[in-house]
């Protein structure tokens, strides 16, 4: 089966329902792109419990919030009204393509892990 990318939001699902959705679509890796990986109202989606739940269900967890999240760190990445200046984020020394051909790049590692299953 060719590799594919699916999207899902946690919404207000229970942890069990969220896992059921992932399993029913044969998801092998969840990439968390939240800049701040926690939830005020559904704490089972905080980074640590989410990662633990996924791992216990043989689903890999990969955090890429720093690279792909919508709320980057650093005042230099925002204008005076609090809007993100994505061109500054892209130009920063920390910016890189998580999909580059470097085998140590996060998405390359995830793709490699998924292909081994």
- Residue bearing the bigger pLDDT, 70 or 109: 70
Domain assignment present for 106: yes
pLDDT at 102 over 80: no
d(CA 35, CA 68): 8
Note whether residue 30 is domain-resident.
Answer: yes
Decide if 68 is inside a domain.
yes
Quote the pLDDT of residue 50. Answer: 96
**Model pLDDT, residue 113:** 47
For 74, the domain range is: 15-115
Confidence check: pLDDT of 99 > 80: no
Q: What is the pLDDT of residues 42-96, one digit of tens each?
A: 999 999 999 999 999 999 999 998 888 888 888 998 999 999 888 887 777 665 5
In a domain, 9, yes or no: no
Report if residue 3 sits inside a domain.
no
Residue 88 pLDDT: 84
Structure tokens at 22: 């992932």
Give domain status of residue 111, yes or no: yes
> Are 80 and 91 spatial neighbours (Cβ–Cβ below 8 Å)?
no
The answer to whether residue 2 sits within a structural domain is: no
The 10s digit of each residue's pLDDT in 2-35 is 788 899 887 788 999 999 999 999 999 999 999 8
Give the Cα separation of 57 and 55 in Å (integer). 5
This prediction's pTM? 0.69
Q: How many domains does the chain have?
A: 1
Residue 50 is assigned to a structural domain of this protein: yes
């Amino acid at each position: 089966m060719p590799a594919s990318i699916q999207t899902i939001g946690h919404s207000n699902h229970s942890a069990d329902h969220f896992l059921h959705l992932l399993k029913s679509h044969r998801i092998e890796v969840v990439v968390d792109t939240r800049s701040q990986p926690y939830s005020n109202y559904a704490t089972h989606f905080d980074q640590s419990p989410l990662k633990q739940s996924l791992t216990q269900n043989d689903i890999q967890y990969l955090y890429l919030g720093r690279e792909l999240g919508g709320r980057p760190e650093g005042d230099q990445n925002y204008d005076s009204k609090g809007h993100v200046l994505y061109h500054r984020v892209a130009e920063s020394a920390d910016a890189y393509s998580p999909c580059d051909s470097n085998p140590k790049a996060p998405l390359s590692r995830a793709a490699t892990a998924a292909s081994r299953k």
